Structure 1
């Protein structure tokens, strides 16, 4: 997976070096676009490798505290909206959800779950990001109407470098997205729950401890600040 974008970048670069003067503007633009696209893929792969290495080795920096989860989820959904140009993204987040967490790491969890849904569900299907209170916790979930996950793949879901079923032929990646999610949630003393019905979609969810009042929030995060 690392070799593929490197090969494309190298091949395109050599081609441009040899025949740049003979190329028209449209062709140059297409070639440069391909370079940028593959560079972004390579950047994402390397980032996942480095992040997983730090998490697995216990070297990840953490900053736990009261987190405005409602604002975080809305911002993450808005930032990743471009991934769902061929899907329907629905966001159903209860207001004023305050949890104890590391906000940067939880943002990464939600980003990975949404990106995973965008990659592995057919165009035209719906992906739902939701968060609601219950029994002293807040449950965050990402659900889709895709093909679901087979029993054989489900047993290995979240294992590093595992990419099962048709995923190998339909998407690019190292199989670290859900492994990173599980590592981060482990730091939060929680785990990823996967519910699936082959042919009828799946739901990924996790819980975080709710902060009962806004008294523990920094002044800048309190309502009306």
Structure 2
């Protein structure tokens, strides 16, 4: 009973038995309703025919021997009560006499026609009166239930045997047809649980089992991609962590050397400090991205002036863009937005710092804001080296580096991943347009009000 296969077989067998019993009851009811009148008429006709033959044939033993076979073929018995009280049975080799009360016999002899109630098998008895030589006789016609029941049981037994054997065979085949794909699914899910994601069911069925099979195939592909992403993530993190650690370890050993000048000692210390800050930023960004992707990061939208937030960031990064002699073109009309101020701060800071880092000395940065109905667009454009078309599809992936020219100054490959996640949380979208040698343009579209 613990296996689905056994349960299906038992359910099918139980259903088959219930259906069979219901069919027998229904057929019996319909047959009885349709043929009860025919049965009565048949018995009356045979009774009258017997009376005529009995009166016309002098040799009663010859009548019995010739008439018995005919009655047996109709499953009928005739019980005759003559004027002397003797009882004769026609239509059966058996000598048993069916008990009929004396009151009924006398009533029929006196000229009444008798019709009994049906018994549990739907059979009835008919009694007819007649006289021979002035003596009253009574003849009773009834079903020879012994012969009929024997033949009926034989037919039913054969029919039931064939139905049960054929039904059992069909149940076994159909059950295996249903359970087999479920067994394969079980094997596949066990492999998935063990980390074997290169499994597919390739089901072509169009029913619910086929839908479930395709869902498992899709899940296996997703798990395979997640596993690949996990391995790449671990590899990338290890590489990103290893690089500053190698620098820190190397310059720490260099500080131990004797004979270092004060200038060299300061220079080595600054490198160690920079690499430590780089490692710290990486850890903060990893924690921030993990928190954002967990759907448990605090999200506190408030209404504030978006244009003023961006202006404040531009002023905060002034030393950086002045150092590279960058020209800034700013178009920030007043715009009020309902959003999480701290999260969007990370978005604008990341994009602004990237446009400064990847720009040429003396280049240009254009920052603009444009209200559009119920939404607002913010653009950050630079005149840096640009991003190749094949790289633009991946710049929001973790640790993806567009080209070697950005490797030294990239925000450890997850800054834009954080930007994309924050924009998604605000039900917005981000678009990048870039060409090699012509700079890059990032456009973020956000709703002015968050949906509740």
TM-score bracket, normalised by the shorter chain, equals: 0.7 to 0.9
Q: Which residue of 1 aligns with 2:250?
A: 11
Contact 1:69–1:98, Cα closer than 8 Å, also in 2: yes
Q: Which residue of 2 aligns with 1:218?
A: none
Quote the offset at 1:169 in angstroms.
Answer: 4.3
Aligned length: 209
Q: Which residue of 2 aligns with 1:217?
A: none
Q: Which residue of 1 aligns with 2:339?
A: 101
CA 1:87–1:153 in 2, change beyond 3 Å: closer, same or farther? Answer: farther
Structure with higher helix content: 2
SS of residue in 1 equivalent to 2:429: coil
SS of residue in 2 equivalent to 1:193: strand
Distance of 1:17 and 1:72 partners within structure 2: 46
Q: Which residue of 2 aligns with 1:61?
A: 298
Q: Which residue of 2 aligns with 1:201?
A: 439
Of the three residues 385, 395, 420, the one matched with 1:147 is 385
Contact 1:67–1:102, Cα closer than 8 Å, also in 2: no
Q: Which moved more, 1:40-49 or 1:163-172?
A: 163-172
Higher normalized contact order (CA 8 Å, seq sep 6+, divided by chain length) = 1
Distance of 1:164 and 1:151 partners within structure 2: 10
Q: Which runs of 4+ in 1 moved over 6 A?
A: none
Of the three residues 334, 349, 362, the one matched with 1:124 is 362
Distance of 1:151 and 1:210 partners within structure 2: 31
Superposition RMSD on alpha carbons, in Å?
2.1
Give unpaired runs (5+ residues) of structure 2: 1-239
Quote the offset at 1:190 in angstroms.
Answer: 0.4
Q: Which residue of 1 aligns with 2:448?
A: 210
CA 1:94–1:165 in 2, change beyond 3 Å: closer, same or farther? Answer: closer
After superposition, give the CA deviation of every residue in 1:177-216 in whole Å (9 maximum; x if it has no partner): 11111000001000111122332222101122336xxxxx
Quote the offset at 1:89 in angstroms.
Answer: 4.6
Distance of 1:11 and 1:201 partners within structure 2: 36
Q: Which residue of 2 aligns with 1:110?
A: 348
Of the three residues 174, 180, 186, the one matched with 2:418 is 180
Q: Which residue of 2 aligns with 1:221?
A: none
Q: Which moved more, 1:175-184 or 1:88-97?
A: 88-97
Contact 2:389–2:435, Cα closer than 8 Å, also in 1: no
Contact 1:100–1:208, Cα closer than 8 Å, also in 2: no
Quote the offset at 1:41 in angstroms.
Answer: 1.2
CA 1:87–1:195 in 2, change beyond 3 Å: closer, same or farther? Answer: farther
Distance of 2:407 and 2:437 partners within structure 1: 19
Q: How does 1:62-81 map to 2 (within 5 A)?
A: 62-81=299-318
Give unpaired runs (5+ residues) of structure 1: 212-225
Quote the offset at 1:24 in angstroms.
Answer: 3.2
After superposition, give the CA deviation of every residue in 1:61-90 in whole Å (9 maximum; x if it has no partner): 221110221221011112222332215151
